[in-house]
Structure 1
Amino acid sequence: MKVLVATEKPFAAAAVEGIKKEVEAAGNELALLEKYTDKAQLLDAVKDADAMIIRSDKVDAEVLEAAKNLKIVVRAGAGYDNIDLAAATANNVVAENTPGQNSNAVAELVFGLLVYTVRNFYNGKAGSELKDKKIGILAFGNVGRNVARVAKGFGMDVYAFDAFCPADVIEAAGVHAAKSQNELFQTCDIVSLHIPATPETIKSINYATVNQMPKGGILINTARKEVINEPELIKLLAEREDLKYITDIKPDADEDFKKFEGRYFSTPKKMGAQTAEANVNAGIAAAKQINAFFKDGCTKFKVNK
């Protein structure tokens, strides 16, 4: 079987080496398409691939239809909105992600950004501390649980809400279970977003939602850009000079947000999984899942129907 690693932004060399070892140990062939600059290159590379590993690369209907031999595509990471799931199903392709592999990296980034923020972006002026602050975690999956773990180390009061995670599971992790998303925003000084971009969540973080936050509230987004209703958040930040918005996903309206100097920060590009460890973990996990699929038909991490 031919396994294509198609990455516009390549894996670290150690990750590629680990993927290669996993793939070849199972008797499969590895092909690399790195730093490609045109979709035509991807369309050509997938023609004879039986499996594909991607990062943030878009696998749409055109790519899937060009990949006549493709049986499985694995996104090395938790989010998978860059794969057209309906088109994958229509082309009899299994789509998978690698949940949990980047979780610690994202959680650590959350606190790197938070410390930077509460210390006034290190501008020399007195800031505040995270200890005893209330942090709300919206979605208690792999990343959310790691955020809770780190928050406890800072001595924070940790809350979480997840529509799909029972309150007793959240409480068992030593975290206060909010009864609703609204309660989370009303209660917490800081709200950290870890929700996926779905029809239900897209633009759900809006004026009314965020306006419930206490004075001096900080909204931090290391999830997906699409969950933010940008025009409404801009309107709110203009009205409430006490609020801050911090993200590792540059908004479409970045220039408008930049007007809120001292209350807005975005990294130049998505940074959540940008660690050597996460890079290697996710890549090797993807290779192992492909090997398991070809060996035993395992689809444990399948995300399409």
Structure 2
Amino acid sequence: MSQSTPGPTFVAAPDAPLNVLITKTLTLPDVTPEEEAMIRVAAGPDAIVNIVDRPRDGVPLAADADVILGIVPQWLFDAAPRLRWIHATASGVDMFMYPAFLDSDVVLTGEKGLVGSHLADHAFGLLLALVRRIATAVKLGPQGWDNDHRERMRYSELELEGLTMGVLGFGGTGRHLARRAVAFGMNVQAMDLYPVSPSDGVDSVGGPEALADIVATSDVLAVGLPLTDATRAMFDDEMFALMPDGAILLNVTRGEIIDGPSLERALAENRIGGAALDVAPVEPLPADSPLWGFDNCVMTPHTAGASQHRARRNLERFCRNLVALREGRSLEGVVDKQTGF
């Protein structure tokens, strides 16, 4: 995910005890007693902390909430007139970008920069499953030992060392992808929508003007971009036509960045070497989608965001932000609501 200059990075220090509403979600399935105690200490003396099992259960409590930790659909936002700050339990925040929220003064923070490690792990798992034909072997089972299948796998396996990975979007996920690519002996080039510093084996990071050249010169093209109006369906027929023969598309961020029919055509016509995807253009991906039928397309059902550390990392950031709020300091992980990341 890219890093831009955010809007307001702080909320005025409260003049009364905080009222905090916490809604459990897929990435925050539970709050242990120890974690609840940690939140209460961070929220300050006399703070009110309510924890509910799902966002819908938070509606009766939202009227007095100053802060919400979780996911806030518009119907919950509309029920919270005193709301000053939301801390999202999600890395992508496109679900928050409805007009009422965008036009408000409510600050949004979240997991920005915290999820890159496990997303990159998953991305390389998918990439290896594709280029080393691991997914094919698992699907074949005992039949994989048949000489025809075995030889076909051996003759088509690729080695990552010496290949070039192009990273589109050089934020947390992009940097972790680059770090792993370098460890595999790959060359890495990167671009971002905004000026960012190079790191993790990347000597320089190009701007939007570098997009076409990176697409045209990468053996593996890794998408690390957020979903915005500008990136939605950006991988269309024209973009796939720029990719070199045999190049692989790798995406573990947002599926809607890829135009589904264009990807299907690129695979069917062998315009690209394959696709390794944790996210799909439409989710859940229908059972009759042509993507299921391609041997050179490996997919997982949007599970890359899982980690045994994820919820705790975000809770710790939330607690640091609660203390910063009370002390009138800037918050961590602020999202620019106008750019969407």
TM-score bracket, normalised by the shorter chain, equals 0.7 to 0.9
Correspondence 1:44 to 2:60: yes
Q: Which runs of 5+ in 2 are unaligned?
A: 1-17, 138-143, 145-152
Paired residue total: 296
**Structure 1, residues 170-199: CA drift from partner, whole Å, max 9, x if none?**
379534655611111110111000111111
Correspondence 1:184 to 2:214: yes
Q: TM-score, normalised by structure 2?
A: 0.77
Of 170, 174, 191, the residue aligned with 2:198 is: 170
- Aligned residue in 1 for 2:321: 289
Of 34, 38, 61, the residue aligned with 2:74 is: 61
Instruction: Identify if the C-alpha distance between structure 1 residues 10 and 151 changes in structure 2 by more than 3 Å, giving closer, same or farther.
Output: closer
Aligned ranges 1:125-204 → 2 under 5 Å: 125-126=153-154, 127-165=157-195, 169-170=197-198, 173-175=201-203, 177=205, 180-204=210-234
- Aligned residue in 1 for 2:11: none
Distance (Å, rounded) in 2 between the aligned partners of 1:20 and 1:122? 48
Q: Post-superposition shift, 1:235?
A: 2.1
- Aligned residue in 2 for 1:237: 267
Contact between 1:247 and 1:266, CA under 8 Å: does it hold in 2?
A: yes
Letter paired with 1:52: I
**Structure 1, residues 225-267: CA drift from partner, whole Å, max 9, x if none?**
2211112222222222653122112332543243442122221
Correspondence 1:110 to 2:123: yes
- Aligned residue in 2 for 1:33: 52
**Structure 1, residues 79-103: CA drift from partner, whole Å, max 9, x if none?**
2112136422544322222321111
Report the 3-state secondary structure (helix = DSSP H, G, I; strand = E; otherwise coil) of the residue aligned with 1:287: helix
Distance (Å, rounded) in 1 between the aligned partners of 2:258 and 2:305? 20
Q: Which runs of 5+ in 1 are unaligned?
A: none
Contact between 1:98 and 1:286, CA under 8 Å: does it hold in 2?
A: no
Q: Post-superposition shift, 1:122?
A: 4.9
Contact between 2:175 and 2:199, CA under 8 Å: does it hold in 1?
A: no
- Aligned residue in 2 for 1:261: 294
Contact between 1:53 and 1:76, CA under 8 Å: does it hold in 2?
A: yes
Letter paired with 2:232: I
Distance (Å, rounded) in 2 between the aligned partners of 1:52 and 1:131? 46
Q: Post-superposition shift, 1:297?
A: 5.2
Q: Post-superposition shift, 1:299?
A: 4.2
Of 81, 92, 101, the residue aligned with 1:79 is: 92
Of 23, 27, 35, the residue aligned with 2:40 is: 23
Distance (Å, rounded) in 2 between the aligned partners of 1:95 and 1:21? 21
Name which structure has the greater RCO, CA cutoff 8 Å, separation 6+.
2
Letter paired with 2:117: N
Q: Post-superposition shift, 1:7?
A: 2.5
Contact between 1:243 and 1:263, CA under 8 Å: does it hold in 2?
A: yes
- Aligned residue in 2 for 1:212: 242
Instruction: Identify if the C-alpha distance between structure 1 residues 208 and 19 changes in structure 2 by more than 3 Å, giving closer, same or farther.
Output: farther
Letter paired with 1:110: A
Q: Post-superposition shift, 1:272?
A: 2.9
- Which deviates further from its counterpart, 96-105 or 122-131? 122-131
Distance (Å, rounded) in 1 between the aligned partners of 2:239 and 2:276? 16
- Which deviates further from its counterpart, 194-203 or 95-104? 95-104
Distance (Å, rounded) in 2 between the aligned partners of 1:232 and 1:60? 31
Letter paired with 1:170: P
Identity %: 23
Letter paired with 1:9: L
Contact between 1:77 and 1:101, CA under 8 Å: does it hold in 2?
A: no
- What is the root-mean-square deviation of aligned Cα atoms in Å? 2.6
Contact between 1:3 and 1:29, CA under 8 Å: does it hold in 2?
A: yes
- Aligned residue in 2 for 1:278: 310
